[in-house]
Structures are given as structure tokens and as C-alpha cells.
Amino acid sequence: MKYLRAKLLALQDSQLAKLSLMADGLFIYAATAVRYVCPRNKMTADEQLRMLAQLADRTSSSADTPLLIDTLYQQILWGAFCKLDDALFRDRLRIVHTLLCTEERVSTSVAGRLADVADSQMANVVVDELYAVLYVKDDRVLSYHASFPDFMFAQERSRFSVPPGEGSRVVDMSCDEPAHHARLTHSCFRIMMSSLRFNICDLPSSNRKEHQPRPPIFLSELGSALEPSCIWRPRLSPDQDRRVSSCASPILD
């Protein structure tokens, strides 16, 4: 209660007690719920109460959910995706999966290139919408807690019904990790094939001494072409490995 009272100053004790009961002693639930109810932009007490009521409705209707934190993640995801058309829904979800699958955490720009979305700003929007579970530090997108990637990689947890009740729509936001790594493999080769070229650094001559420094453009141009591949390590099944290996042929030949 002390944590909730310090973070949610606009709510009364009875409302804080309700949220504390929902958290059931799980601090990660309480901390994530606080971020969800208090976005970056200021909200009124009535708006916080409305979001808290939506969260309470989903929690009370999810008796079969194995983990309490799942109902919170489901509400956060659905709040960010519920108004999107099918095409935009798929594009943004692909960005989320990409952010979670890369071996090292990446920037929004790299995630957008790997996800192959036309809108260069879409990844920024996705992170902003999922402010309760994702954040940016040193130009890298991170998750607040390891339980969120675990949730996304488990279909039985991230496939859920909305709105709760009979006749509801089933939404699958889970990430098939091996399948997405196969997509990332194709994306890496696609980026290299479109970016790598002869004399990519535009050096004036190949007859340069080894001790001569390379121009600054060397790192920027080469890094732009290779960064997505250098920060990612594929996790493919043997069958997927055979299928995607053909992608490297045009580069290696």
C-alpha cells in the first residue's frame, strides 16, 4: 500500500486497496499497473479510475489465467492495439516481436528495418504505446521485467479473449520465436543485399597505405548495412536453417 499511495496520489485509500488486492502481493504487478495507470502525459483522477476499472474487470473475468500478471499484460496490449485495422495490427505486432527476439537490444530504427515496415516512425509509436512494459535507454529498447518476453513467447498466455465474456474475439499476440528468427534471417540478408556495394565507403583509391586512417564515412556507411546482422544471432530449427541458408548465396558468390 505504501508504494501505491506514493505513486498514485490522486486515488483514495479505498481505490488503492482495491489495486493492492488485485496485485495479491506481487510487486511486479503493482509496479506495472502504476506505469499503466500513469502514462507519461498527466492524467486526471477520473481517467486513472477508468483505467483501473478496466483492469479490474479483466482480472475478475480471468479465473482460468495461470498467472495474475498475464491479465495485466493482456490489458496493456489490447489497450495499445484495439483500435488498429488488421494490417496495422500485424505491422506493429511484428515490431514488438522483433524487439523481443534480437540477441541484443536494438534501437527503434533498427527494429523498424528488421521488421520491414514502411513507416520509419512506427517503432517509436509502438514503444510509446507500450510505455508500461517497454522503455528506451541509451537508444536501446528494453523491457521493464523479464516476465513480459516470457508472456509473449508463450501462446497459451498471450492468446486471449477480448472483451471478456461469451462471444468474445480471440486475439493471438504471441510470438513464435523460431519462426520469427527465420523472418529476421531473411531481413538481415535483405538489408545487406540492398545496402552492401562495391566501394561502399567511397574511398578515392584502393592504393592507400595501411597506416592511413579510414575516413569517418567508412564506419557510418558500413555500420548502416551490417548493424542489424551483427547484433543478432539466429535461433533456427534445422529445417529453417536449410531453407534460409539459400539467402546467403547471392552475397557469398
Residue 91 has pLDDT above 60, yes or no: yes
Does this model's pTM top 0.85? My answer is no
Indicate the pLDDT class of residue 80, thresholds 50, 70 and 90. Answer: very high
- Predicted pLDDT at 127: 96
- Of 73, 93, 109, the domain-final residue: 73
pLDDT of amino acid 219? 45
Round the average pLDDT of the chain to a whole number and report it.
76
Residues 226-251, mean pLDDT to the nearest whole number = 55
pLDDT for the residue numbered 104: 84
Instruction: Please indicate, yes or no, if residue 116 is contained in any of the structural domains.
Output: yes
Contact 223, 107 (CB under 8 A): no
Q: Are residues 119 and 102 in the same domain?
A: yes
Q: Containing domain of residue 47, as a range?
A: 2-73
In a domain, 207, yes or no: no
Distance CA 194, CA 113 (A): 12
Q: According to the model, what pLDDT value does residue 221 have?
A: 46
Look at residue 209 and tell me if it is in a domain: no
Tens-place pLDDT, residues 171-206: 999 999 988 988 888 888 888 777 766 666 666 665
For the segment 95-104, the average pLDDT, to the nearest whole number, is 91
Specify if 60 maps to a domain. yes
The number of distinct structural domains making up the chain is 3
Decide which of 44, 73, 102 is a domain's last residue.
73
Instruction: Report pLDDT digits (tens) over 125-143.
Output: 999 999 999 999 999 999 9
96 and 45 together in one domain: no
Position 166 scores a pLDDT of 46
Pick from 5-9, 15-19, 141-145, 221-225: least confident: 221-225
- Contacts of 92-99 with CB under 8 Å at 24 or more apart are 92/122, 92/125, 92/126, 92/129, 93/173, 95/122, 95/123, 95/126, 96/126, 96/130, 96/152, 96/173, 96/175, 97/152, 97/175, 97/180, 98/180, 98/184, 99/123, 99/126, 99/127, 99/134, 99/141
Kindly indicate the confidence band of residue 235, based on its pLDDT and cuts at 50, 70 and 90. low
Lowest mean pLDDT among 11-15, 64-68, 78-82, 84-88: 64-68
C-alpha cell at 103: 540477441
φ/ψ of 138, rounded to 5, equals: 55, 40
Domain boundary among 73, 95, 113: 73
At which residue does the C-alpha cell 476499472 appear? 53
Q: How far apart are the C-alpha atoms of 13 and 47, rounded to whole Å?
A: 17
Residue 226 and residue 192 share a domain: yes
Q: What's the N-to-C CA distance of the chain in angstroms?
A: 64
Task: Specify whether 164 is located in the same domain as 186.
Answer: no
> What pLDDT, on a 0 to 100 scale, did the predictor assign at position 65?
45
**Smallest Cα–Cα separation from 224: which of 192, 198, 190?**
192
Q: How far is CA 70 from CA 92, 127, 132, 152, in A?
A: 20, 19, 14, 10
Query: Is 144 a residue whose pLDDT tops 90?
Result: yes
Q: Are residues 58 and 90 in the same domain?
A: no
Q: Letter for the amino acid at 44?
A: T
Report which of 181, 184, 218, 224 is spatially closest to residue 203, judged by C-alpha positions.
218
Q: Are residues 64 and 123 in the same domain?
A: no
* Residue 27 shares a structural domain with residue 41: yes
Percentage with pLDDT > 90 across the chain: 29
Residue 166 lies in a domain: yes
Q: Look at residue 97 and tell me whether its pLDDT is greater than 70.
A: yes
